[in-house]
Amino acid sequence: MTTRNFRVNNGLEVGDVVVTASSNAVTGVSSITLDNETAPNANAKLANKKYVDDQVAAVTVTNIVQNNTNVTVADSGTGSITATVDGNTELTITDDGLRVHGNLTVDGTQTILNTTTLSVEDNIIELNRNVSANTGTPTVTGIQVNRGEGSTAIEQALLWAWDESFADDGTTIHGNAGGAFTAFKRERNGTQAPVAGDLVDIRANVVHALSTSAQYADVGERFAADAPMAEGAVVMLGGQQEITEVASDLSDQVFGVISTNPAYAMNAGAGNSDSHPFVAMTGRTPVRVTGQVSKGQRLVSSNVKGTARAVSDSDTINPFHVIGRALEAKTDDGIGMVNCVVRTNN
């Protein structure tokens, strides 16, 4: 059988499909036009393979341009990606990292920086940017230093933060700011405000302040001791070191009382509390007392080493004998601790 071309001069209709000879259009099949033009000029026209290949070949892989905004990729041994917006370079990516040349705004709930060193040129770091009123201020705002993931004291996170819950009484002494900067520790993911047991030490050369306050109430200074001494022990100058425990009754050589929690600690770097305990010579501190004591009675040394006793009516005393005065009563005859106001006359 001989194969021949089939030619339709005016068109051909087969069911819903119509072939129009004058336009080479086929209708009834999604109105597809078979077009041999280089560039199709209507949505329903199909591009030929050569046109598609030419267009794909013309797409650059190094530059996307729209007016004066573009993204350029370059690599001639040292690669880079540069984003330019309205003629200004806004972003550069190289093998060294990413640099944002304009402002950077991150909208989210968390920003994580996996870097060894954070270097900030700005002289102010602003926290709580969206707080517009005091009522919206978080209880704790500040800087946290992580030291582990446990809950022990040496693993807890350390914070230098503004504590909005501090009981500022509104006086100029407290600053009348409704809070206080506080150094404290808490669990790494904790949210609690600091209490007295959470506070940590701050070390400095000189602290300048209008006023200071302390939980404890005595002034203590470290002195070299000839033996370890317990809290409240009554001491005198002497022994093989600087201080030793008083061992005689009604001694006029009393110097002070061993304090373990001085409000103001002088000579703190001299040693530790075993070799150089703090001696309170003024202020409120516990004292080791033997026998019964009435509130308000004066205390003098006893014949029990390192202890005081209440002054009796038969004692003849002068200011050099007196250790201090009892702030509470003691009703038993044994040795116990009594809170006292210590003030020795040296």
Q: What is the pLDDT of residues 98-130, one digit of tens each?
A: 999 989 999 988 999 999 999 999 999 999 988
The confidence score (pLDDT) of residue 65 equals 87
User: What long-range pairs does 327-332 form, CB within 8 A, spacing at least 24?
Assistant: 327/284, 327/295, 328/295, 329/292, 329/293, 329/294, 329/295, 330/289, 330/291, 330/292, 330/293, 331/292, 332/292
Assess whether 74 and 167 both reside in one domain.
no
Assess whether 252 and 312 both reside in one domain.
yes
For residue 200, pLDDT beyond 90: yes
Assess whether 177 and 274 both reside in one domain.
no
Assess whether 156 and 231 both reside in one domain.
no
pLDDT tens per residue across span 16-66 = 777 777 777 777 665 566 556 667 777 767 777 777 788 777 777 788 888
User: Residue 53 domain-assigned?
Assistant: yes
Q: What is the mean pLDDT of residues 78-105?
A: 92
Assess whether 306 and 260 both reside in one domain.
yes
Q: What's the token pair of residue 28?
A: 């009834």
CB atoms within 10 A of CB 176: 10
> 338 pLDDT band (50/70/90 cuts)?
very high
Residue 131 identity (one-letter amino acid): V
Last residue of a domain, one of 100, 122, 153: 100
Assess whether 225 and 332 both reside in one domain.
yes
- In DSSP notation, 174-238 reads TTSSSSEEEEEEE-TT--PPP-GGGB-----S----S----SSEEEEEE--BSS---TT-EEEE-
Q: Output phi, psi for 22, to 5 deg.
A: -70, -25
For residue 6, pLDDT beyond 70: no
Residue 84 burial class via C-beta count within 10 angstroms: exposed 0-12, middle 13-18, buried 19 and up: middle
* CA atoms within 13 A of residue 140's CA, in its CB half-sphere: 18
Contact 179, 162 (CB under 8 A): yes
The confidence score (pLDDT) of residue 227 equals 95
Question: Can you give the residue range of the structural domain that contains 47?
Answer: 12-58
pLDDT tens per residue across span 294-331 = 999 999 999 999 999 999 999 999 999 999 999 999 99
User: Residue 120 domain-assigned?
Assistant: no
User: Residue 255 domain-assigned?
Assistant: yes
Assess whether 94 and 41 both reside in one domain.
no
Contact 293, 338 (CB under 8 A): yes
> 282 pLDDT band (50/70/90 cuts)?
very high
User: Residue 253 domain-assigned?
Assistant: yes
The confidence score (pLDDT) of residue 8 equals 65
Q: Which of 246, 237, 231, 228 is nearest to 305 (CA)?
A: 246
Cα dist. 53→13, 34, 59, 332 in Å? 33, 17, 10, 107
How far apart are the C-alpha atoms of 333 and 195, rounded to whole Å? 37
Contact 310, 299 (CB under 8 A): yes
User: Residue 6 domain-assigned?
Assistant: no
User: Residue 127 domain-assigned?
Assistant: no
Assess whether 332 and 305 both reside in one domain.
yes
CATH of the domain at 322: 2.40.300.10
Q: Output phi, psi for 69, to 5 deg.
A: -120, 130
How far apart are the C-alpha atoms of 311 and 1, rounded to whole Å? 143
For residue 284, pLDDT beyond 70: yes
User: Residue 267 domain-assigned?
Assistant: yes
Higher pLDDT, 263 or 169: 263
pLDDT tens per residue across span 139-185 = 999 999 999 988 888 999 999 999 998 887 777 667 788 888 999 99
Q: Output phi, psi for 235, to 5 deg.
A: -125, 165
Contact 199, 219 (CB under 8 A): no
Q: Where are the alpha helices (DSSP H) in 59-169?
A: none
Assess whether 246 and 318 both reside in one domain.
yes
Number of domains into which the chain is organized: 4
How far apart are the C-alpha atoms of 244 and 223, rounded to whole Å? 10
How far apart are the C-alpha atoms of 323 and 282, rounded to whole Å? 9
Q: Where are the alpha helices (DSSP H) in 32-96?
A: 49-58
Residue 82 identity (one-letter amino acid): T
Q: How many residues does the chain have?
A: 346
Assess whether 182 and 229 both reside in one domain.
no
The confidence score (pLDDT) of residue 89 equals 94
Assess whether 299 and 269 both reside in one domain.
yes
User: Residue 29 domain-assigned?
Assistant: yes
Contact 223, 281 (CB under 8 A): no
Last residue of a domain, one of 24, 43, 58: 58
Q: What is the mean pLDDT of residues 260-288?
A: 94
Say what the pTM is. 0.64
Assess whether 306 and 252 both reside in one domain.
yes
Using the CB atoms, write b or e for 129-149: b if 16+ within 10 Å. Answer: eeeeeeeeeeebbeeeeeeee
The confidence score (pLDDT) of residue 240 equals 95
Q: How much of the chain exceeds pLDDT 70, in percent?
A: 93
Q: What is the DSSP letter of 330?
A: B
